[in-house]
Amino acid sequence: MTNEQERDYIIVQDESGLLKKFAVEALLNMEEQTYTLLRSEHDQHNAFVMQVENEEDGQYLIGIDDPFIKSMVLDAYAIAVDANPAD
């Protein structure tokens, strides 16, 4: 099984109504918030850090502008990967 087959994918509808497919690299719970690290199927070199909001009508992704929070999420991801490297 390749690494690509092991990924979870989500389809996100942006503000313009366009549907985009992303690989979920990580889902992290920190400081009573949930964050995700996503990679576009068309651009595997860049990742997006977003906050996950649960509402009655579904889940929403919110962009993070705070560089401290982005850094915190990326550091937590790096620690998780180092603690449990992929084969």
The structure tokens listed for 29 are 């719970």
User: Given a cut of 50, is residue 2 above it in pLDDT?
Assistant: no
User: Given a cut of 70, is residue 4 above it in pLDDT?
Assistant: no
32-79 pLDDT tens trace? 999 999 988 777 778 889 999 989 998 889 999 999 999 999 999 999
14-30 pLDDT tens trace? 889 999 889 998 999 99
Higher pLDDT, 86 or 65: 65
